[in-house]
């Protein structure tokens, strides 16, 4: 490095100066953190995963994900590159750390652009993505209640976080969707207040890589469910094949096989912990209970009124 060159600035850290913040009533509280990433944002089936918990637990889990990446000898966890054995090892270690962390939870929201909600003219895909983020963030708030939140999303996403933050912070008494949790009066969902938002790189915040893995695995289970079930049965049935042995029985590329194997692994690890996750019955990752530590939410249109946002119609001047 020459004398005129400067060091690359350090990325913003997950660590905060104070572990406690004051809420709107002046009471000291520990903030909660949401870390998220999406998969297939330019595809028909799209997913976004939210990993959430109190700051102290999220910091510990982020450290465990960093160790998983370092021990595996790779730079980050990416589901699209999961055919790399090192990334598989990192993903497995990070997943185990999450599943064994008692205070963190994950929700993966998946939607399909070919359903009735999205079959509208001039559909605005960017606005639709932001709306699905809104649904996901509000549902995370329902899990933990009315508390202060920090939210970090992958930096490679075209995202207007500030606008979404302002909208969420100014939304009060948002009426519940059918089947969602209610307050004591049975009328409204919890409110959410985002006090800090930012976008981070998974190389700097490894927990984003875990969110990427969960979003990618969920999405893959939707559009390749039968293949995932086939591999899961080879691995978990009486034959009990290893990944290398499955290669001899399934005629697909190594990249696709690795994705199927990791979907099966996710199902298997959730099953060992009795988290109510299924794969075989519906040919996709499903959760039997919304209150589970891991929730796979496959969004369904709520009715004829539930339509994706649209772009304004162009006015042609004569």
- By three-state DSSP, how is residue 201 classified? coil
- Strand bridging mode 148-154 / 32-39: parallel
Question: pTM surpassing 0.75?
Answer: yes
Residue showing tokens 């089936």: 45
Q: Between helices 254-272 and 85-99, what is the axis angle to 10°? A: 20
40 confidence band (pLDDT: 50, 70, 90): very high
Is 96 domain-assigned? yes
Using one digit for the tens of pLDDT, what is the confidence trace for 197-240? 999 999 999 999 999 999 999 999 999 999 999 999 877 643 45
Using one digit for the tens of pLDDT, what is the confidence trace for 87-129? 999 999 999 999 999 999 999 999 988 766 777 677 777 888 8
Domain count, the chain: 1
Is 14 domain-assigned? no
Using one digit for the tens of pLDDT, what is the confidence trace for 52-79? 999 999 999 999 999 999 999 999 999 9
Is 201 domain-assigned? yes
Q: How far apart are CA 72 and CA 83, in angstroms?
A: 14
Structure tokens at 227: 């293949």
285 neighbors 267 (Cβ within 8 angstroms)? yes
Q: How far apart are CA 217 and CA 223, in angstroms?
A: 10
Q: How far apart are CA 34 and CA 155, in angstroms?
A: 14
Please report, for the domain that includes residue 37, its CATH number.
3.30.420.10
* Runs of H (alpha helix) within the chain: 55-72, 85-99, 125-144, 161-169, 207-223, 225-236, 243-247, 254-272
Q: How far apart are CA 153 and CA 151, in angstroms?
A: 7
Q: What is the domain extent for residue 107?
A: 28-218+293-298
Is 263 domain-assigned? no
Give the H/E segment covering residue 139: helix 125-144
Using one digit for the tens of pLDDT, what is the confidence trace for 261-293? 999 999 999 999 999 999 999 999 999 877 789
Is 129 domain-assigned? yes
Is 6 domain-assigned? no
Structure tokens at 306: 């539930």
Is 236 domain-assigned? no
Q: Is the dihedral of CA 276, 278, 281, 282 positive or negative?
A: positive
Is 159 domain-assigned? yes
- By three-state DSSP, how is residue 266 classified? helix
């Amino acid at each position: 490095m020459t004398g005129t060159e400067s060091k690359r600035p350090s990325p913003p850290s997950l660590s905060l100066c104070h572990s406690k913040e004051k809420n709107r009533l002046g009471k000291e509280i520990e903030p909660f953190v949401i870390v998220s990433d999406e998969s297939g944002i330019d595809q028909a089936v799209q997913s976004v995963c939210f990993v959430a918990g109190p700051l102290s637990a999220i910091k510990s889990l982020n450290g465990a994900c960093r160790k998983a990446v370092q021990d595996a000898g790779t730079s980050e966890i990416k589901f699209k590159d999961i055919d790399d054995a090192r990334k598989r090892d990192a993903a497995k270690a990070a997943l185990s750390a999450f599943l064994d962390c008692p205070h963190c939870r994950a929700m993966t929201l998946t939607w399909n652009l070919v359903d009735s909600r999205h079959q509208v003219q001039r559909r605005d895909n960017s606005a639709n993505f932001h709306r699905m983020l809104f649904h996901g963030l509000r549902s995370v708030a329902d899990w933990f209640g009315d508390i202060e939140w920090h939210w970090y999303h992958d930096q490679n996403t075209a995202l207007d976080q500030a606008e979404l933050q302002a909208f969420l912070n100014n939304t009060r008494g948002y009426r519940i969707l059918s089947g969602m949790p209610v307050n004591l009066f049975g009328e409204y969902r919890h409110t959410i207040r985002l006090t800090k938002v930012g976008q981070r790189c998974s190389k700097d915040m490894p927990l984003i890589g875990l969110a990427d893995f969960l979003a990618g695995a969920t999405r893959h289970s939707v559009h390749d469910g039968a293949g995932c079930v086939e591999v899961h049965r080879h691995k978990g049935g009486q034959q009990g094949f290893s990944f290398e042995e499955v290669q001899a029985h399934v005629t697909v590329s190594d990249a696709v096989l690795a994705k199927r194997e990791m979907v099966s692994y996710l199902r298997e690890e959730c099953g060992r912990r009795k988290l109510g996750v299924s794969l075989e019955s519906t040919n996709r990752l499903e959760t039997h209970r919304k209150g589970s530590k891991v929730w796979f939410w496959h969004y369904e249109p709520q009715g004829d009124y539930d339509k994706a946002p649209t772009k304004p119609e162009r006015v042609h001047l004569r």
